[in-house]
Structure 1
Amino acid sequence: MADRQEAVDLTTAEHVRDPYPLFARLREENPVCPMQRRRGRTSWLVTRYDDIVRAVLDPALRNDPRSVSTVTEGPRFPMGRHMVASDPPDHGRLRRLVAGALSPRRTGRLAPHIARTANDLLAALPTDEPVELAQDFAFPLALAVISELLGVPHADRADLSRWTLSILSSPADATAQFFADANAFHDYLNDLIETKRRNPDDAVISAMVAAHDHEGLVSAEELVSSVFQLVIAGYESSASTICTATLALLEHPEELGYFRAARGRELDQAVEELLRHTSTLQVLAQRFVVAPLTIGPVTIPAGETVLLAVGSGNHDPRRFADPDRLDLRRENNQHFAFGYGRHLCLGATLGRLEIKIAMALLIGQFPALRLAIPPNELNWRPGLGFRALSTLPIVLGPRHPGPRNDEIAS
């Protein structure tokens, strides 16, 4: 049975800054262990790659919190009925809704828009004084891309950014401001859906509305929640990965030079390694145990919750040779950056495209790019699920022509 050992804490500033020493120790000494949660609760943390794979596929673990009889006190989050928080058969319905709207053809058409927006943002930045890469480049780019994909009007994008970052940055004990922003976000998406229903366009929300109205795939609550999940997944993850991956390259000059020269398959391969090595996604959304679950020597009783530490799995030496080394030539790189199994992120194709274009233009145009402060002075955003920099001050240096858009956007 599960042994109630002293719970680990993944929210300390030291762990957020560098999670991999603790993960390495846990993989060897305590690969399935209790983890501190808010209000004195614990969850079971799984840290080995193969154990994470088995757990994702085990029917004893569910994503929908209604699978267990846990009573939740306090206000209810208004946009929680999306596919990440669902199980079959509901998961299949919700995934079909998003997959139909988020086709490769539609996302592929965004490549010129991504390149144009990235170039415009870079052109506006000074080259001889510190700039803030997160706020001046990565987040504005990610916001422009997800807004273009969904069909969010320009006038509304600042509010979208504010609500999203508020929800993602709120402390573990959700505040009144958290729920105020969540409810405002919900009301806005409801209004936007109604606008698209009256005046459809060729963006994703209109396609999802059409599927809802004509095929009856999902409820109104599920439709709003699914749009919300697309915003969260398409905005935060891409922007944070651009920052953490840039930092990784700046800390590895030889790999930085390789990335700058890479094209075609080499560039795609390099992006995969940056996704694995930097591991913006650290812990998957909690799973709920509906039947006794045995992982290694530990049996977790029904009614408990499990957290899958995919950031640890991405650095597991049982799966990746010399995993803490950044190796842009790494082959067979089956990482967890976009999840795993039936919950593999449907926006992975767009995420890869956005990160590749943004970083190829940034690194290619500024060969003297450097940090503006020492790495140990960088601030990391508090949190559990994502590992993200609060800011990334850099100096761009002299501008060079860099790669052509058609060399990187394919």
Structure 2
Amino acid sequence: MEAWPARARPAGPAGHLVRRDNAVTAIDGEPRIYPFTAEQLRLDPLYAHLRKEEPLTRVRLPFGEDAWLATRHVDARVVLGDARFSRALSVGRDEPRTRPEQGNGGILSMDPPDHTRIRRLATKAFTMRRVELLRPRAQEIADGLADEMLAGGSRADLVEQFALPLPITVICELLGVPVEDREHFRVWSDAFLSTTSLTLEQVMEYKGKLWQYMGGLIEQRRVEPTDDLIGALVLARDEQDVLSEDELISLTVGLLVAGHETTATQIPNFVYVLLNHPDQLAWLRERPEQVAQAVEELMRYVPLGTAAAFPRYAKEDIEVGGVLVRAGEPVLVAVASANRDESVFEDPDELRLARSTNPHIGFGHGVHHCLGAPLARLELQVALGTLLGRFPDLRFAVPQEQLRWKRGMLVRGLESLPIEW
């Protein structure tokens, strides 16, 4: 059956449920304006209401067609993991989104088998075993940054002096990108996460510059082959013919951006949360061996994204959360809401680093589960372990109301985090 046009649904009270074809179907009036309020690291209480009363709700984003929003953990796993939902169907559609440009999602806009073909090339570098081999080098980098902070006195900006250079250096060394170029691609990377922080002209300019930059590195590998990840991907393109040139550049750009941006944002987010939960910080200081478990709870607790993104389109009629989603309709997943689902997590709005059962979906779920999750986990563990071990009296250096938060971005985080010890 065909879906109604996105902005031509029959009128009716929002959230009203009726029976049709033996399924429960929502007939909405005006969709809810989305994203909801997103101040600092606080999750809008409307999510809790929706999980109980309207787990699948209609939403209207600043751009694109209307969509369903899934807020419960069980429904999130269905939308992200069920093959009846597609990312590839977003191509050519007016995809619901928070920014004006209709971007090329690359591998994020693919379904198997194309998705599998491309992902398989990079997966080998991000297996848990291979990533674990990077731990000594990541620790060496973190220790060096901590040494520089301590040598500079008793105060530092955690973002500039630790949180950014750690993952940037690791991913640059893994890919084979000159770390000395980081000041350039740091600026260009913002184009992939901006909603309103950059103009459309700046977004297109920065994306173009990063595309050209990575294309230049790829051409260098053709002249002088290397054994880094970019070198391996170039061989896969030129000798095995399993990648197009655009796919090769898109994949390497994606790995560079995703390989440092979110981790660099989460490190200060985690520190901010811990400093605001002194009992949990004390618990972890007394149990440094539990840092991996603490990272999982912080991943669950911190609402990194300001809004749901990358909608999945239903390939056929499918019931989700008591609502019939028609073939061709997009569904967004509110990951932060799913990670606070009271039916899955006891006292979900409390930070409990001792939480042993933690099926959060902070790294996604299904075929698009974060490729770099093992590396991100390692870096977050190394970062927290180093900061707590080397700075036993870590604290805010300025009143919290003076902290500057990112605005107009897809992720929540601090522009800077002055700390002292």
AA aligned opposite 1:268: A
Distance 2:95 2:304 in 1: 31
What amino acid is the match of 1:364? G
**1:121 matched to 2:145:** yes
Q: Which residue of 1 aligns with 2:218?
A: 193
Query: CA 1:120/1:173 → structure 2, altered by over 3 Å: closer, same or farther?
Result: closer
Runs ≥4 in structure 1, deviation > 6 angstroms? none
- Residue matched to 1:380: 405
Whole-angstrom CA distance in 2 between matches of 1:21 and 1:155: 43
Structure 1 distance, partners of 2:308, 2:94, is 21
Question: Which residue is 1:276 aligned to?
Answer: 300
How does the TM-score come out when normalised to structure 1? 0.87
State the secondary structure of the residue aligned to 1:387: coil
Tell me if the contact between 2:167 and 2:260 (Cα under 8 Å) persists in the aligned partners. yes
Q: 1:155 to 1:394 in 2, by over 3 A?
A: closer
* Amino acid aligned to 1:120: G
Aligned-partner Cα distance in 2 for 1:68–1:188: 27
Q: Measured at CA, do residues 220 and 40 of structure 1 come closer, stay the same or move farther in structure 2, by a change above 3 Å? A: closer
SS at match of 2:260: helix
Once residues 355 and 101 of structure 2 are traced to their aligned partners in structure 1, the CA distance between those partners, rounded to angstroms, is: 46
Secondary structure in 2 matching 1:291:
coil
Corresponding residue for residue 353 of structure 1: 378
Match of 1:217 among 242, 251, 271: 242
Residues 362-371 or 99-108, more deviating: 99-108
Give how far 1:283 is off. 3.0
Alignment of 1:124-273 (within 5 A): 124-125=148-149, 130-171=155-196, 175-264=200-289, 266-273=290-297
Q: What TM-score do you get using the length of structure 2 for normalisation?
A: 0.85
Q: Are 1:314 and 2:339 counterparts?
A: yes
Amino acid corresponding to residue 30 of structure 1 in structure 2: E
Alignment counterpart, residue 44 of structure 1, candidates 55, 62, 68 = 68
Task: Describe the shift of the 1:43–1:256 C-alpha distance in structure 2 as closer, same or farther (beyond 3 A).
Answer: same
Kept in 1, the 8 Å contact 2:34–2:62? The answer is no
Aligned counterpart in structure 1 of residue 321 of structure 2, from 296, 300, 307? 296
Shift of 1:334: 1.3
Deviation at 1:193, TM superposition (A): 1.1
Q: Secondary structure at the match of 2:58?
A: strand
CA distance in 1, matches of 2:164, 2:95: 36
1:322 deviates by 0.7
What per-residue deviation string (whole Å, max 9, x for no partner) do you get for residues 321-372 of structure 1?
1111111111121111111122111211111110101111111111211123
What are the ranges of 5 or more consecutive residues in structure 1 without an aligned counterpart? 398-410
Deviation at 1:52, TM superposition (A): 0.5
**Pair 1:35 & 2:59 matched:** yes
* SS of residue paired to 1:215: coil
- Whole-angstrom CA distance in 2 between matches of 1:290 and 1:274: 34
Give 2:81's match in structure 1, choosing from 57, 73, 77: 57
The CA RMSD measured in Å over matched residues stands at 2.7
Identity score, percent: 35
- 2:164 match: secondary structure: helix
- The question of whether the paired residues in 1 share the 8 Å contact of 2:90 and 2:312 is answered with no
Distance 1:394 1:286 in 2: 38
Letter in 2 for 1:330: R
Cα 1:215–1:69 change in 2 (3 A) is: same
CA contact (8 A) 2:126 2:371 kept: yes
Amino acid at match of 2:230: I
Greater helix share, structure number:
1
Are residues 47 and 173 of structure 1, via their aligned partners in 2, closer, same or farther at CA, if it must alter by over 3 Å?
Answer: farther
Distance 1:11 1:136 in 2: 32
Deviations 1:305-335 (A, max 9, x none): 2210111111111111111111111112111
**Is the contact made by 1:31 and 1:47 (CA closer than 8 Å) also made in structure 2?**
yes
The answer on whether the counterparts of 2:304 and 2:411 sit within 8 Å (CA) in structure 1 is yes
Structure 2: stretches of 5+ with no match in the other structure: 1-24
Contact 1:10–1:384 under 8 Å retained in 2: no
Residue deviations 1:229-284 (CA, integer Å, cap 9, x gap): 212221111111111111111111121122223244x2221211111111424635
SS, match of residue 238 in structure 2? helix
State the SS of the aligned residue for 1:35: strand
The one of 125, 128, 132 aligned to 1:108: 132
Question: Map of 1:79-98 to 2, 5 A cutoff?
Answer: 80-82=105-107, 84-98=108-122
> Which residue of 2 is the match for residue 406 of structure 1?
none
CA distance in 2, matches of 1:361, 1:17: 23
Q: Cα offset for 1:196?
A: 1.8
Q: CA deviation at 1:62?
A: 1.0
1:277 touches 1:315 (CA, 8 Å); kept in 2? yes
Q: Displacement of 1:61 after TM fit?
A: 1.8
CA distance in structure 1 between the partners assigned to 2:398 and 2:59 by the alignment: 33
Could you tell me whether the CA contact under 8 Å between 1:284 and 1:339 is conserved in 2? Answer: no
Counterpart in the other structure of 2:367: 342
1:127-186: CA deviations, max 9, x gaps? 766532122210121211111111101332221111112331342996111001111111
Alignment partner of 1:364: what SS?
helix
Letter in 1 for 2:176: G
